[in-house]
């Protein structure tokens, strides 16, 4: 089966991405040619299957030491796999195709917990990561081979298992004359800084900190569950960020950690958001001020990351934003205000849907797996060597 796919001049691959924002599953149907750094991609179709509020809250529980348990993780591993399969099937229908047209499905899975560094206080908490959404369930449901569970391979060779998308960013967006920072703003923010005409080993990539995660949690809490995100940044725009609070939040030790570094809900999850909401309410901030303060925190964390780790080592002309944060006009304006010497734009302006980019990346990863070609960027994850990420589940 794999040999037949490799022999084809191109392959149709469904990339499935469900991120730390817990907003749903992105499904991209991608035509892929070649492999490795010479891979060519064409996005044919894209759809998003949103998580409902009940599922989103259950996933937040799983991402919490206080509310999770093994039974919930076990059940959700299969439940989310069905959601992922549903998203793949919906993408095929909306594209006017059938599963017979699809060669491969590549799934990131849903991250539940991530331990980029071992816990010195507990010998059992070694470097590790957990993404759920069982591959065999997706394969049997769709009748297609499925590649997934990517992050573990990079961690097995000494990396942090994240960020992974910078490998695809280098292939899709490197420019001979312009230094670019590809900034994804999902639940967590992560960046890939690519120097003009640069080589893969020159890419600087890491998690900048919280992206939409804290903003979304504040909106959900302050609206009594009526809203799950700040549409266009409208709520934040009505308030004024408390710069003193922002400065206090920026004292979090994550922002002074050396590279490589990655983070997630373990540090910037629901409990962290609720702690600061309480602090801001005590200070008398309005709801709009609170949302605006969290938005400013994300903007400052991104700008400081560039000043500390990127701008001292390369010239950057453009900051190219993708993910849900690309639609938050208030957030983008704040980032632009903090970085006046760079142009802030989105991947849409470069011909790639800002919502689809990560799903396209995982289609690219799945294609490299087929060819036995490494699909990591050691300069991003901190691994000493590049490796072939992914595990295969067959439909038969």
- Binding-site residues sit at 19-26
Q: How many CB atoms lie within 10 A of CB 279?
A: 16
Q: Contact at 8 Å (CB) between 221 and 281?
A: no
The angle subtended at Cα 49 by Cα 40 and Cα 83, nearest 5°, is 100
Rounded-to-integer distance, Cα 340 and Cα 346, Å = 16
Rounded-to-integer distance, Cα 85 and Cα 232, Å = 30
Annotated binding-site positions for ATP? 19-26
Q: How many CB atoms lie within 10 A of CB 151?
A: 27
Alpha helix segments (H runs only) across the chain: 2-7, 53-62, 70-94, 135-142, 151-156, 166-173, 213-222, 234-237, 243-249, 265-268, 270-282, 287-305, 329-338, 357-371, 378-381
In 3D, which of 119, 163, 222, 153 has the Cα closest to residue 20? 163
Rg (CA), the chain: 20
**Under DSSP, is residue 379 helix (H, G, I), strand (E, B) or coil?**
helix
Q: Contact at 8 Å (CB) between 186 and 379?
A: no
């Amino acid at each position: 089966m794999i040999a037949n796919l490799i022999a084809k001049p191109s392959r149709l691959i469904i990339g499935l991405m469900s991120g730390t924002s817990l907003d749903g599953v992105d499904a991209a149907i991608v035509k892929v040619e070649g492999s490795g750094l010479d891979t060519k991609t064409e996005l044919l179709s894209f759809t998003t299957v949103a998580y409902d509020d009940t599922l989103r809250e259950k996933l937040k529980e799983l991402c919490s030491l206080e509310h999770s348990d093994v039974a919930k993780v076990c059940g959700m591993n299969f439940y989310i796999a069905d959601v992922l399969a549903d998203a793949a099937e919906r993408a095929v229908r909306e594209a006017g195709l059938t599963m017979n047209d699809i060669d491969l499905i590549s799934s990131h899975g849903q991250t539940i917990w991530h331990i980029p560094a071992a816990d010195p206080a507990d010998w059992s908490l070694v470097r590790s990561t957990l993404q759920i959404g069982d591959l065999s369930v997706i394969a049997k449901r769709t009748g297609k081979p499925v590649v997934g569970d990517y992050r573990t391979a990079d961690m097995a060779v000494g990396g942090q298992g994240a960020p992974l998308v910078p490998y695809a960013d280098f292939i899709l967006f490197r420019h001979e004359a312009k230094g670019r920072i590809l900034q994804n703003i999902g639940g967590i923010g992560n960046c890939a800084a690519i120097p003009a005409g640069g080589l893969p080993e020159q890419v600087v990539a890491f998690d900048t900190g919280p992206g939409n995660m804290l903003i979304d949690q504040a909106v959900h809490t302050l609206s009594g569950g009526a809203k799950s995100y700040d549409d266009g940044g409208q709520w934040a725009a009505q308030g004024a960020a408390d710069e003193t609070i922002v400065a206090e939040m920026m004292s979090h030790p994550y922002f002074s950690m050396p590279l490589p570094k990655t983070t997630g809900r373990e540090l910037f999850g629901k409990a962290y958001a609720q702690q600061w909401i309480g602090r801001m309410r005590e200070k008398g901030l309005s709801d709009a001020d609170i949302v605006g303060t969290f938005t400013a925190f994300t903007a400052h964390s991104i700008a400081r990351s560039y000043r500390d780790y990127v701008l001292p080592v390369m010239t950057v002309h453009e900051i190219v934003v993708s993910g849900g944060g690309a639609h938050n006009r208030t957030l983008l304006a704040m980032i632009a205000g903090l970085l006046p010497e760079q142009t802030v734009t989105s991947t849409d302006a470069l011909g790639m849907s800002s919502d689809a980019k990560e799903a396209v990346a995982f289609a690219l990863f799945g294609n490299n797996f087929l060819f036995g070609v490494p699909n990591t960027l050691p300069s991003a994850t901190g691994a000493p060597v590049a490796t072939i990420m992914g595990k295969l589940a067959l439909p038969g």
